[in-house]
Structure 1
Amino acid sequence: MGFSAFIIFISSLCVNLLQLINYLTIRFINIDIYRQINGYLQYIIYSQVVAVAEWWSHSTITFYFGDQQTLDQFGREHAFVVANHRYEVDAVFLWMIAAKTGTLGGCKAFGKRELRFVPIIGWSFMFGEYIFLARNWQRDSLNIGHGLDRLMAHQRPIMLMIAAEGTRFTEQKYRTSMKFAADKGLDVHYRHHLLPRVKGFAYSVKHLKQNYPNCAIYNLQLAFDETREVISISNLIKGIPMNGSVYLKRIPIADVPTDSDQQTADYLYKLYQEKDDAMDYYFQHKQFPGQKQLHKPSLIPLIVLWTNFVVFGLSLAYILFTVFTSGSVGTIIIASLLIITVFVGIYFAIRSARIAKASTYGTIEGKPHNNKKSDLKKNYLSKHLVNGNNDNILNNNHKEGKNQLG
């Protein structure tokens, strides 16, 4: 698997180069053509991961559609997807879901600005017009609106994903999250989710509702049988199968109240209660309710993967053979260092996806805060994260500093 990972890494860097060329040329001539080309290039990168999951580890995804409208519309319209964030393989399985519905090249998300400088995935995000956040609400409140406008202008369906919990679920974060909710007097009692962060969701929904009333929200719930499988990136790389189940329910954006932030907050809390109940149902019955569809592994991602193996694998083998038989000690040392650098990069990329490396949100329970920055952040969260006061968040966004956007 090591050599395969090396080939995927190198081929993805080459796709990044093609994305850069497309960005510097076609984008200035015709933005629609630029977006279509970039969608194909993004598909090449993501589909290799999908192929590894489906054909190497033999992982599967089973769909459960909440109603016929969801089945008919998902993947055929712009979608604002509210997903749970429980597993370190969430991104892989979300890409598998997108591949089944023809939107893998149109996957979008919110991300930290720092991701723009991360090779492959971060660069692909940047060229794909993902919405990057500076963790400063004065900037982000403007950037989100412009970002949504760009994405809604895409001619092909896009799937904009938001994890309103803001970070991956862990037991420690869960305890801190529920304590925070209780301290604020919120009537929420989740069992499988963290308290969702309202601010970014409220702003996005209000903007979409006002400007794109035909856009739809999709409630997406991903689950695994945790009594039978260990859900991890390392197991996927080892070829151990994981069998995911996903529940989908379409929600017309007109159904979301946006007259006040408190109304939107109450709606989001209620939605996460429904997501919590769905997880209870799944853990009890080992399936979600709704219309069931089991999809076979996708063939196109496998073709893309093998094409890259043949093209880049043979090219790389020839280059390495030439280098190591050249007799030049300096050239051999440089080539060896480059190979080691690539494998180190792959190692840290995998390590960063592990659950132990998730956000530190909620992991400082009981520890003293000895610096002003931590105290300022804590005060801001207490005041604004959960809409536990009478201030209108959206009207005050020009006065606020740091945010915690989901």
Structure 2
Amino acid sequence: MDVKQQQQQQQQQKPRPIYKNAFVTIALFVMSIATILMIMLPIEILQIFNPSLAFTLNTIIASQWYRFMLFIFQVVNQINVNITGEKELPQGECALIMVNHPSEVDWLFLWFLAIKQKALSKIKFILKNEIRFVPLVGWGCDNIEYIYLTRDWEYDEAHLRYKLTKMRDVYQTKPWVTIFPEGTDIDKTKLEKSWAYAEKNGFPKFNNVLLPRTKGVQACLDVYRDTFDAVYDVTMSYDCGKPTIPSLLLSKNPNIVNINVGRIPISQVPKTEDKLQPWLFKIYQEKDKLLQYQKDNGKYPFNSIANQEDHSIYLAGLVWSIGILFTIYNLFTSSTLRWYALVSMIFYAVSASSNKLREMRGLNRPGAVYSTSSKKQQ
């Protein structure tokens, strides 16, 4: 049997029992209510008076929430994540994580890499602005200081620098700043547009990734270069198509997630944008070749690294499961808790759209307003 036949066989997955689908959906929904609406809301009030303490508390809570998500992926959904690379990664580093974008859920599986490297509480994602309006998901991402970009670079550059500078100077944290330089997840239509743009501008064309954008990477490096130890070049792929949020909830999971990591010392990363662009194109050229190799051979040409199991996800699974049952019981029996949850929902819903409230929470620069009519970045 050749590799393509093996891959086709892998794609024919056994349907997950309905009770597991129900458990995953209800557990994640109730857990999000408990975490975001009930636990984190008082911390958001604390944010006004002591931003650093509020950030620390939210980060601790979020890291335990991530562990439960990993329990769902690994134990309940039985997704196998293979992490490979040329050599083991040092632990405790501050790094810029550059990732290709094969699906809308790539950022969720990067938690596996983060927990292996003892960096689960440090990972911060740069995501598209639309996510901030998604109930619960967007509200939670706001609480833990994920960064939203609108594709209006005049706005985005100042916003990105503001958020990163705040992390560096106010919170004094050494994060994993995680960016998807392609700007969007790949599909056939986007790939054809990427080819047209590359051909028009004399840039290289790729078959398995989109042409990366340089400006966001440059802004991250400008703010954090003196703190970053390295850039992690991360390449992701799945064994069965393109997973989505619904597919993760309704059993059509990838069987295997492949993550390859290369480490580039920060001293080897160009400092100016004119030199950074060809450097980034070269990295993506290698990503393109690596992904093609994986398609042809069913694996990356490197050894497994960082694959020791972290047993803390089992404890998180137990504790959060008890918390979920406690939350369900109290939502049914306590009108006070239901009113509290409703007020919390209203607060977050208004906060998603109100520039003034976002400024008060430190989510937006003072006076910064995004105009939907602004010219969008190519």
Q: TM-score range by the shorter chain?
A: 0.7 to 0.9
What is the deviation of 1:11?
2.4
For the aligned residues, what is the CA RMSD?
A: 3.2
**Contact 1:44–1:304, Cα closer than 8 Å, also in 2:** yes
Task: In structure 2, give the amino acid aligned to 1:162.
Answer: I
Q: 2:260 aligns with which of 247, 253, 258?
A: 247
Residues 130 and 77 (structure 1), Cα distance of their counterparts in 2 relative to 1, 3 Å cut: same
Matches within 5 A, 1:296-335: 298-317=310-329, 320=332
The answer for the alignment partner of 2:229 in structure 1 is 215
Q: 2:90 aligns with which of 48, 60, 72?
A: 72
TM, length-normalised to structure 1:
0.70
Structure 2 runs not aligned, ≥5 long: 1-20, 343-370
| 1:190 matched to 2:206 | yes
How far apart in 2 are the matches of 1:172 and 1:224? 20
Residues 319 and 38 (structure 1), Cα distance of their counterparts in 2 relative to 1, 3 Å cut: closer
Q: 1:202 aligns with which of 218, 224, 232?
A: 218
The answer for the alignment partner of 1:177 in structure 2 is 194
Residues 147 and 88 (structure 1), Cα distance of their counterparts in 2 relative to 1, 3 Å cut: closer
The answer for the alignment partner of 1:381 in structure 2 is none
What is the deviation of 1:159?
1.6
How far apart in 1 are the matches of 2:34 and 2:46? 17
- Which deviations, in whole Å up to 9, do the C-alpha atoms of 1:58-117 show, x marking residues without a partner? 11111112334xx224xx111111101012431221122222222222221223445444
Structure number with bigger Rg: 1
What is the deviation of 1:162?
0.7
What is the deviation of 1:298?
4.0
How far apart in 2 are the matches of 1:159 and 1:312? 29
What is the deviation of 1:300?
2.3
Q: Which SS does the other structure have where 1:105 is aligned?
A: coil
How far apart in 2 are the matches of 1:41 and 1:297? 21
**Contact 1:129–1:150, Cα closer than 8 Å, also in 2:** no
Task: In structure 2, give the amino acid aligned to 1:21.
Answer: P
Task: In structure 2, give the amino acid aligned to 1:79.
Answer: A
The answer for the alignment partner of 1:345 in structure 2 is none
What is the deviation of 1:233?
4.4
| 1:404 matched to 2:354 | no
| 1:283 matched to 2:283 | no
Q: Which SS does the other structure have where 1:283 is aligned?
A: helix
Q: Which SS does the other structure have where 2:90 is aligned?
A: helix
The answer for the alignment partner of 2:46 in structure 1 is 25
What is the deviation of 1:163?
0.7
Task: In structure 2, give the amino acid aligned to 1:266.
Answer: P
How far apart in 2 are the matches of 1:230 and 1:166? 17
The answer for the alignment partner of 1:11 in structure 2 is 31
The answer for the alignment partner of 1:41 in structure 2 is 61
- Which deviations, in whole Å up to 9, do the C-alpha atoms of 1:123-161 show, x marking residues without a partner? 222122222334433332222222222333556642211
Matches within 5 A, 1:92-103: 92-103=108-119
**Contact 1:81–1:159, Cα closer than 8 Å, also in 2:** yes
Structure 1 runs not aligned, ≥5 long: 324-330, 339-372, 378-400
**Contact 2:243–2:254, Cα closer than 8 Å, also in 1:** no
How far apart in 1 are the matches of 2:174 and 2:312? 19
Q: 1:224 aligns with which of 238, 251, 258?
A: 238
- Which deviations, in whole Å up to 9, do the C-alpha atoms of 1:185-244 show, x marking residues without a partner? 22x1311001112222223223333xx254321100012334xx7745455434456211
What is the deviation of 1:247?
0.9
Residues 242 and 88 (structure 1), Cα distance of their counterparts in 2 relative to 1, 3 Å cut: farther
Q: 2:162 aligns with which of 108, 124, 146?
A: 146
How far apart in 1 are the matches of 2:242 and 2:139? 31
TM, length-normalised to structure 2:
0.75
How far apart in 2 are the matches of 1:280 and 1:189? 14
- Which deviations, in whole Å up to 9, do the C-alpha atoms of 1:367-403 show, x marking residues without a partner? xxxxxx99xx9xxxxxxxxxxxxxxxxxxxxxxx534
How far apart in 1 are the matches of 2:163 and 2:212? 22
**Contact 2:117–2:306, Cα closer than 8 Å, also in 1:** no
**Contact 2:182–2:211, Cα closer than 8 Å, also in 1:** yes
Q: Which SS does the other structure have where 1:174 is aligned?
A: helix
What is the deviation of 1:404?
2.6
- Which deviations, in whole Å up to 9, do the C-alpha atoms of 1:322-359 show, x marking residues without a partner? 69xxxxxxx9xx99xx9xxxxxxxxxxxxxxxxxxxxx
**Contact 2:116–2:308, Cα closer than 8 Å, also in 1:** no
The answer for the alignment partner of 1:380 in structure 2 is none
The answer for the alignment partner of 2:100 in structure 1 is 84
Q: 2:307 aligns with which of 285, 295, 298?
A: 295
- Which deviations, in whole Å up to 9, do the C-alpha atoms of 1:287-343 show, x marking residues without a partner? 2233413736543233323323223325524754x69xxxxxxx9xx99xx9xxxxx
How far apart in 2 are the matches of 1:296 and 1:215? 23
